[in-house]
Structure 1
Amino acid sequence: MADSLVIVESPAKAKTIGKYLGKKYIVKASMGHIRDLPKSQIGVEVENDFNPKYITIRGKGSIIKELKDARKKVKKVYLAADPDREGEAIAWHLSHYLDLKENEPCRVVFNEITKQAVKDAFKEPRKIDMDLVNAQQARRILDRLVGYKISPLLWKKVKKGLSAGRVQSVAVKLIIDRENEINQFIPEEYWSITVQLETNDTTFEAKFYGLNGKKKELKNEAEVKEITKLIASNDFIVKSVKEKERLRHPSAPFITSTLQQEAARKLNFRAAKTMSVAQQLYEGVEIGKEGTVGLITYMRTDSTRISTQAQDEAKTVIMDKYGDKYIPSTPRVYGKSKGKSQDAHEAIRPTSALRDPVSMKPYLSREQMRLYKLIWERFIASQMASAVMDTLTVDITCDKADFRAAGSKVKFPGYMKVYVEGNDDGKKEEEKFLPEMSTGDKLKKHKVDPKQHFTQPPPRYSEARLVKTLEEKGIGRPSTYAPTLETIQRRGYVALEEKKFMPTEMGELVNQLMEEFFPEILDAEFTAHMENDLDHVEEGEENWKKVLNQFYTSFEQRLEVAEEEMKEIEIQDEVSDEVCEKCGKPMLYKMGRFGKFLACSGFPDCRNTKPIVKDIGVKCKTCNEGRIVERRSKKGRIFYGCTEYPECEFVSWDKPIAQDCPTCGGLMVEKKTKKNTRHQCTVCHYKKEVEQE
């Protein structure tokens, strides 16, 4: 008979831990939270010191009965939910249902699901940390107060189904503010002059720097003509040659936000997908004879700390694969996070550096493999020696005009042998070699290339860029980024267009009302301050009910004003020229998760909907009758099809262009990669690179 009952959140985690603990332990899954605030009402007694009214989550009755029955058969209960606020709250709710004593050491936490980590954790169970629980309760109640007090107001004054949220409202405002910046942006003209020069039979490029040793920006064509006239008949002479050795240091191991950003840049993963695949790797994967093993440490963390044991393993791997010159003179230590809970965490890393991606490939799905490889490479690189770059800067004069050529090459790759961090623009840093030169050398001029440019507006937020901004501003915490991005799309406040967030009309309307009546909720600094208060609750430095009271005092006043002064806004659906093919009534433009779509005005009697198609000005070459239009898949992804569908079955993920293939006359499409854009024929192998600014 088993001596102990162990409760975790998920069946996958239960399976992995069960194998480590043996027959003396029954391991069960609670399937996440078993108790929460009710959905049908606010569930918080504001007048009674913010007392929460928890109820059993619908459908969890049978799970609770199973856990209570198992409890009767054992002497001891261990609660092994995840090592964060949410996990602590799950454990606390479970202890309530199972009638565990308040000070009983029943809580077991581990940062990784490996045999050793699990066994060590069970040697040192602790009592439930009420500071952590109260931080979770405060966050939950705060979000409930905002959501359940503002949402009915929006339903009443604007439209049924709308909602507001503490973190999501700030995220939407960031996206709208950026859109306004883009719309108000006035491009400014500027010019560049590139000259192609030669020395010792080697050509290279130099760019205009300034006049008489002072930097100068070229604002218009008249200034450019002066420079080109000046250099037309004068010699180019090397003024100075500066050689420098520069060190490049590796990035820290992943935390939640940086993992989401890199997975977006390098793997094209949405934030929610990254967290889902990371959860699988954390909870355990079947590894041949080893059995089920958790492959990465806990994936919700803002700590870059790593254990000395992990460092030692990384050192062994680096020594074996690359040699001792790739090991830094002193082990790399990255900063710790604040807060007692997060400080117990490590960065996201492999549970064993010895399990390299090649050896794990047979056991992982394609998505698991790609994410595991990213995590493993980032961690190993973080423990490697810095890269050494040789940089060469050559200043060149031609009469009064100054030009500069810069080159760099990798002298010693160091960590770059394994991993280089991506960037939001997808541009790769390339080596630029310059020939050897000395001061006074005369250079041969080949070509002068003046170019006109215009300044660009700031880019729209991608998921990676938005997560980075939220983190920098201190809004939200590791566990909130992915759900926040999902929520603002599901509510129809923003839409993803070419992987960039754009606000919808509904999003702008709700944001406008929030700015007028609830400015604190949208204030990034106020929201970040609230996050710090919650951290102080977690650290035992602040009373959670005091934090709630401070927020609610001014919030209640705002609610009263909004109730009185917010005008009712009737949103008129825009009538389209399209007629419903099912009932003959006019179709209306509606706003959905992926932007606008058409819906029948006869709703609810007629529920016909269809996507809005956009003609891209290209004739279909498959049927020679229809035109190519832009459509959306059920998941919101843009694709291209023929207007004669279903008779014509032409479909393409790549955008067709109004230009026939010069080789065979076939349909050309635009293919975009992180590095470049090219036009490519769908029939023959013709390709053409497209020059980008």
Structure 2
Amino acid sequence: MTNEVWIIEAPGKKRYLEETLKLLGRDAFVVFTKGHLYRFPLREKGKKSSPIIDKNFNDFGREPLDSNILHRIREVVKLCPNVMVATDADQEGDVIAWDVACLIRDIAPNPSRIPLKGMDSDSVLEALSAKGPVKRSAAVPGRTRRIIDILIGSAYSNTGIRVGRIGTALLGMVASEQPTTNFMRLSAPSRDGRSPWIAQCPIKSPITESIAKEIVGLSLPVLDPVETLDRTFKPQHMGEIMIEAAETLGLSPSETAKAMQASYEAGKLSYPRSSSKGISRAAAVKMKSILAKAGKRANPDLLETKTEKDVHDSPHPLGAVNLSLDPTKMSAEEGVRLLIARGIARAGMKHKYQRAKGEIVEKFLLSKGIPIKAAKYVGSLEWTRDLGSTIPGKKRWQKSEVYKRRSDAVLLETALKHNLGKPSTWGTHVEAFLKLGLVNSDLALTERGKEWLSRSPVELLDPEFSARIEEACDYVDQDIFKVRGKTPWQASAERIVKSLPPAITDRIIGAISGIPAKPEPDYREMVDNLPSTLTPEEMELLAERTGPDAIMATSNVQPFLPEFPYDEGTIPDYEISH
């Protein structure tokens, strides 16, 4: 039994992490935050929301999501102050870690940060090797982004429409790109009698629904190969996995995210909320058993290596997976996990494919009376077919058809092309947008959508503008730590707001200029007065961890005051009182 308290995010991780820590000889006491510790107050329907950000860009309005959880964390740490803050290794985890460190700063001023990426032994050992202090700088992007998003939304709250950095960008993206859920797949026979040639496209100008149905009803001409090529695929990031799960399993993005999170907490999947399309060499070695089941062509050395800027590997299964099973006949968790495994297998192979000339199809369509623009468009499509063996689940013999894709999958696919949002919010943003009634089931703007479009700020309709704000939130300039009287996220948010187009800057500044500067509330005394959450058994376990027989597993991290919780001279006194 070690003298450690590990603080994690999700309740579902607790049992699995405890088991892993025991295997590693670190029988620690584990307590969870249940996600973020704080939130902004929910707006009451029909009532004007109260100010939550002051004129100095301080988000003073944050309040505890669950006061009992704050109380429990402090209770546990008072009894065992050797703390490992093992929140996820992402920006949300960094925000939670800093909030935890501030919550316990008077009783455990030097907690260690364990950037957790998985529940299995290897992942925990990797996180322990990266152990360090809880850094305020790591929380800057997440805190800044939240402030900016609240400011943009509140600045336009009296316009009669909902304005948001992501939501308004999605509206502008739909208006400019006109995505559709209606698609056409065409199948042309091959002269050698092997698998057919396939081409597909969305049904949009110059292809109309009636033209598509007419083309699908035709017997297309025989095609010959013009070249044979090799190609490889990269492992999928979370967004691509969401899209495939929507198309294959009928899951919404949020359902896929939930399934991936459940597998992650159970130690069956690596960190899920990843935008990476590569994996480390160490992770690639672990994929040998999966790749072995995909055939002789599979090779872990072919898996794309993650880039230097990627914190996480592409999501990948941990443990055994049977690639031959049918994912549609499994639970959501196991079905998604199997799809991910198949994606890894696909990425671990070289694939041969052939191309054919589409001009033959174009001439054929013209001879059948298909309009010139439509015939040329179909002829310009990529007409290809795969060669050799393939992994389970991939169809080759497909027929010509008009088919419908899920609106959430198409919208997410389009948003990903513009780098909108983060893996943790991709699904929620898309689903929230679809509930507003701005588009129909085919993603065409409704009358309400057209009205909102005409009344929305022009700059915010540009998805590239939203992506640039996202990038600015991620940038941590050292100068923001030198602004007297402001936290770095206040300084960062102010810098971003003042760099926006004048009309938006003026609107935001005007919305907060009348809100006097306020301190961020300190809830420690309030939660300390709540009834105890610890059982007698838990009290005894914690007492044993601080007794003479407890194994000392110290953090080996040097005290990092005055950097924590402030840099001297930069934060008002009311924020550093113990």
- TM-score interval w.r.t. the shorter chain? 0.5 to 0.7
Query: Quick check: which one's strand share is greater?
Result: 1
Aligned to 2:453: 511
| 1:37 Cα offset (Å) | 3.6
Mapped to 1, the partners of 2:142 and 2:295 lie a distance apart of: 45
Contact 1:42 1:144 (8 Å CA) reproduced: no
| Unmatched segments (≥5 aa) in structure 2 | 43-48, 181-186, 198-205, 207-221, 369-378, 482-487, 513-578
Relative to the length of structure 1, the TM-score reads 0.56
Tell me: higher relative CO, structure 1 or 2? Use CA pairs within 8 A at least 6 residues apart: 2
- Taking the TM superposition and a 5 Å limit, the aligned residue runs for 1:117-516 are 117-151=123-157, 153-154=158-159, 158=160, 162-177=161-176, 246-284=228-266, 294-319=267-292, 322-323=295-296, 326-327=297-298, 331-334=301-304, 336=306, 339=309, 343-352=310-319, 354-356=320-322, 366-389=331-354, 411-413=387-389, 416-418=390-392, 420=394, 430=397, 462-490=407-435, 492-494=436-438, 497=441, 500-514=442-456
Distance 1:412 1:560 in 2: 62
Shift of 1:501: 3.0
Distance apart, 1:122 and its partner CA: 2.9
- Picking from 96, 100, 107, the partner of 2:113 is 107
Letter paired with 1:82: D
Q: Is the 8 A contact 1:103 1:128 kept in 2?
A: no
Q: Within the alignment, does 1:12 sit opposite 2:12 as a pair? A: yes
Could you say if the C-alpha distance between residues 265 and 250 of structure 1 is closer, same or farther in structure 2, counting changes exceeding 3 Å?
A: farther
Tell me how far apart the structure 2 counterparts of residues 486 and 267 of structure 1 sit (CA, whole Å): 17
Q: 2:51 aligns with which of 42, 47, 53?
A: 42
Q: What is the total number of aligned residue pairs between the two structures?
A: 447
Structure 1 residues 87 and 402: CA distance shift in structure 2, 3 A: same
Query: 1:536 corresponds to which residue?
Result: 475
Q: 1:53 aligns with which of 60, 64, 70?
A: 60
Inter-partner Cα distance in structure 1 for 2:272 and 2:383: 39
Larger Rg: 1
8 Å CA contact 1:10–1:29 kept in 2: the answer is yes
Query: Is the 8 Å Cα contact of residues 134 and 538 (structure 1) preserved in structure 2?
Result: no
The alpha-carbon deviation at position 556 of structure 1 amounts to 3.9
How far residue 467 of structure 1 moved from its aligned partner, in angstroms, is 1.4
In structure 2, C-alpha distance between the alignment counterparts of 1:14 and 1:62, rounded to whole Å:
17
Residue by residue over 1:526-581, the C-alpha shift from the partner in whole angstroms, topping out at 9 and shown as x without a partner, is 11211221232399999755552344343242469999xxxxxxxxxxxxxxxxxx
State the shift of 1:99 in Å.
Answer: 1.3
Post-superposition CA distance 1:462-505 (Å, at most 9, x none) = 22222122121122121221111222234x243552xx334443
- Give the TM-score of the pair, scaled to structure 2: 0.66
Cα shift at 1:177: 4.1
Distance in 1, matches of 2:87 and 2:452, equals 37
2:38 and 2:432 mapped to 1: Cα distance?
Answer: 22
Secondary structure of 1:52's partner?
coil
Of 484, 490, 506, 1:557 maps to 506
Q: What amino acid sits opposite 1:477 in the alignment?
A: K
Give the gaps of 5 or more residues in structure 1. 183-193, 207-216, 218-237, 285-293, 421-427, 433-455, 564-693
The reply to whether residue 33 of structure 1 matches residue 36 of structure 2 is yes
Identity across aligned pairs (percent)? Answer: 21
SS of alignment partner, residue 156 of structure 2: helix
What amino acid does structure 2 have at the position aligned with 1:253? P
**Structure 1 residue 77, shift from structure 2 partner:** 0.8
Rounded to whole Å, the distance in 2 between the matches of 1:393 and 1:556 is: 51
Deviation at 1:461, TM superposition (A): 8.2
Give the Cα separation in 2 of the matches to 1:195 and 1:16: 52
Describe the SS at the equivalent of 2:93.
helix
What's the CA shift for 1:11?
1.2
Q: In structure 1, what is the Cα distance between the partners aligned to 2:128 and 2:305?
A: 28
Specify the SS of the correspondent of 2:239: helix
